[in-house]
């Protein structure tokens, strides 16, 4: 019995051993329960203490301090310049969720009986979860490229700068080239290491390769100061001075294989072409046809206007010649000038031009016209004297007739102005165009353009055979298809009031038949009109227009070569009805019942 009691521990001793252990277990359990769902104390994420926070609280703290506290304030240094990097420029990003999970896992790793040791270490030493940020390599490369574009500059080689009067040198400038690869690598390392200090940017200074060009100035001046001569055959000599040579060329220096500079002169083809075009315009001379008066009795010409050869420069032909001379370093070039022969040569005889027959004739009457009207039609007819139309050429009243202006000596007379007769410059000129039309029409020539008057004019006889003009808008045109030259010759008989237009040439082997006019849509004339004329005395009433019916007139012309019809043309004229027109002196009583 005594032996059994000797082997049992005293109760007091058991209590002294069990109670501290129990207290420790309770303390550890309480510690664990207190931080259930929270990060253990002593834990930091980067520089931010997050111990005692729930994951939600830690997330909020981390996000709110993401840019200001957690992210590094990174700078780059370019020489003496410090440039801050905005973190979004390099795609910098914190993996917040991963960091929080790592922070929460500290003290909770391994077996349960191993964790208290981790708690003690956290309370004693603490522990930091490294940020381990992510960033975009592409964004860093783009940021570095922007740096290179902003702070880099190309090498500027020394230059020769030439003006119209001088050549000077520009010394050039060293270039700056940012080392993109080294800079990108340095920024990556700084971000990975959470570096706070500035990141140096590697740059290279690029020196010009061209040496000093001041010794080249005399030679460059020599290239530009000697004039370049253009010899135009039959015209004269023209010189391009230094200003012109500067405008069409560029003198530059190039390094040779030996490292020494040499001069090279290049030529601007477009600028040279433009310069030659200006020269061509200045010396261009159109060919001028002769005007010849024909005497059928003697079969001879009298020269009214001499013919003249024209000239021009063919730019496409002379440009290669000029470029070759300039590139070869010659001081000039001889250029061909093209001569343009006139269609009508004053040295030709009537037989050589084929002007030997009367081909066509037109006649109108102007007896009773006012002196100013007679003057105008005679002046316009005379302006056509000597007109020679080449084979296949086109007669145009606008081209051959004289402009009807007061400056050319035409006087005021009655003209058709819209729907009324009015006083204007050149009344009577349409008598000439009408007569020319008749000569061409009855000769069988193709009529290309012809316009009838607004109403039937009594001067022109039968309706359908008139032609009005209003230069330069309303024209009369016909073509010379006879195969020979045609000469237009007016005859003005002022005593009898007859205007004749003769067309001389070689009579074609065709016959012309003009049918009787076909009249339709006849309308009666309106009531007479009266217009005051202050040049007439009181009580004087003078009729200047006679009433005319309105109508449509068709005139058919057939031209035959033997039995073959070579032309069948119908000329259509539409005339509006026209009232009688009276001029009266001031104060004259106008007849009643006749309209106003």
Name the residue ranges covered by the structural domains of the chain: 225-340, 350-584
Q: Residue-wise over 72-106: b if at least 16 C-beta within 10 A, else e?
A: bebbbebeeeeeebebeebbbebeeeebbeebbeb
Nearest-angstrom CA–CA distance, 299 and 308: 23
Residue owning tokens 């022969």? 341
pLDDT digits (tens, 9 = 90+) for 155-172: 877 766 666 566 666 677
- Reported confidence tier of residue 196, pLDDT bands at 50, 70, 90: low
Share of the chain above pLDDT 70, in %: 82
Share of the chain above pLDDT 90, in %: 38
More confident residue, 27 or 552: 552
Domain topology for 225-340: Ubiquitin-like (UB roll) (3.10.20)
- Reported confidence tier of residue 21, pLDDT bands at 50, 70, 90: low
- Reported confidence tier of residue 558, pLDDT bands at 50, 70, 90: very high
Residue owning tokens 């005399």? 218
How much is the CA Rg of the chain, to the nearest whole Å? Answer: 54
pLDDT digits (tens, 9 = 90+) for 563-584: 999 999 999 999 999 888 889 9
Residue 177 φ/ψ, nearest 5 degrees: -125, 120
Nearest-angstrom CA–CA distance, 144 and 155: 20
More confident residue, 123 or 353: 353
pLDDT digits (tens, 9 = 90+) for 323-360: 998 888 788 899 999 999 999 999 999 999 999 999 99
Contacts of 436 (CB under 8 A, 6+ apart): 362, 384, 395, 397, 467, 476, 488, 501
Stretch 108-133: mean pLDDT, rounded?
A: 81
Nearest-angstrom CA–CA distance, 244 and 228: 9
Helix 429-442 and helix 371-383: axis angle, to 10°?
A: 50
3-state secondary structure labels for all residues of 513-562 = EECCCEEEEEECCCCCEEEECCCCCCCCEEEEECCECEEEEEEEEEEEEC
- Reported confidence tier of residue 9, pLDDT bands at 50, 70, 90: low
Residue 122 in this model has a pLDDT that exceeds 90: no
């Amino acid at each position: 019995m005594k032996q059994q009691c000797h082997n049992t521990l005293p109760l007091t001793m058991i209590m002294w051993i069990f109670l501290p252990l129990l207290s420790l277990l309770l303390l550890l359990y309480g510690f664990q329960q207190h931080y259930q769902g929270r990060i253990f104390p002593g834990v930091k994420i980067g520089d931010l203490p997050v111990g005692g926070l729930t994951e939600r609280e830690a997330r909020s703290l981390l996000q709110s301090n993401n840019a200001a506290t957690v992210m590094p304030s990174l700078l780059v240094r370019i020489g003496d310049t410090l440039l801050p990097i905005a973190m979004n420029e390099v795609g910098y990003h914190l993996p917040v969720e991963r960091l929080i999970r790592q922070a929460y896992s500290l003290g909770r790793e391994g077996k349960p009986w191993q964790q208290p040791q981790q708690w003690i270490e956290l309370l004693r030493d603490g522990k930091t979860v490294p940020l381990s940020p992510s960033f975009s390599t592409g964004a860093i490369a783009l940021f570095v490229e922007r740096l290179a574009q902003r702070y880099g500059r190309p090498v500027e080689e020394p230059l020769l700068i030439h003006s119209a009067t001088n050549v000077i040198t520009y010394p050039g400038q060293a270039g700056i080239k940012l080392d993109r690869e080294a800079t990108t690598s340095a920024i990556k390392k700084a971000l990975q290491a959470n570096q706070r200090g500035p990141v140096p940017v590697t740059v290279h200074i690029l020196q010009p390769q061209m040496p000093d060009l001041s010794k080249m100035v005399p030679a460059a001046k020599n290239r530009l100061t000697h004039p370049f001569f253009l010899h135009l055959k039959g015209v004269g000599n023209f010189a391009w001075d230094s200003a012109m040579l500067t405008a069409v060329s560029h003198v530059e220096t190039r390094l040779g294989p030996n490292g020494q500079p040499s001069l090279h002169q290049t030529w601007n083809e477009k600028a040279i072409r433009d310069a030659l075009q200006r020269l061509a315009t200045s010396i261009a001379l159109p060919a001028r046809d002769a005007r010849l008066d024909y005497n059928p009795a003697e079969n001879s010409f009298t020269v009214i206007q001499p013919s003249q050869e024209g000239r021009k420069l063919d730019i496409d032909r002379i440009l290669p010649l000029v470029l070759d001379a300039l590139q070869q370093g010659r001081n000039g070039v001889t250029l061909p000038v093209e001569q343009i022969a006139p269609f009508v040569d004053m040295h030709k005889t009537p037989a050589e031009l084929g002007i030997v027959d009367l081909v066509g004739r037109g006649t109108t009457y102007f007896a009773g016209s006012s002196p100013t009207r007679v003057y105008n039609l005679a002046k316009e007819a005379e302006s056509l004297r000597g007109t020679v139309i080449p084979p296949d050429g086109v007669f145009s009243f606008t081209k051959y007739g004289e402009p009807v202006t007061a400056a050319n000596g035409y006087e005021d007379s009655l003209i058709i102005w819209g729907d009324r007769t009015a006083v204007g410059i050149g009344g009577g000129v349409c008598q000439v165009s009408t007569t020319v039309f008749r000569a061409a029409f009855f000769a069988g020539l193709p009529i290309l353009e012809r316009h009838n008057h607004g109403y039937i004019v009594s001067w022109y006889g039968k309706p359908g055979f008139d032609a009005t003009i209003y230069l330069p808008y309303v024209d009369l045109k016909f073509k010379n298809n006879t195969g020979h030259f045609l000469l237009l010759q007016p005859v003005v008989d002022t005593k009898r009031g007859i205007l004749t237009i003769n067309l001389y040439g070689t009579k074609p082997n065709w016959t012309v038949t003009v049918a009787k006019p076909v009249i339709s849509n006849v309308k009666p004339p309106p009531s007479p009109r009266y217009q005051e004329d202050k040049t007439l005395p009181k009580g004087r009433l003078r009729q200047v227009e006679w009433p005319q019916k309105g109508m449509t007139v068709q005139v058919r012309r057939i031209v035959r070569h033997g039995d073959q019809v070579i032309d069948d043309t119908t000329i259509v004229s539409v005339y509006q009805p026209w009232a009688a027109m009276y001029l009266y002196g001031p104060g004259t009583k106008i007849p009643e019942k006749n309209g106003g």
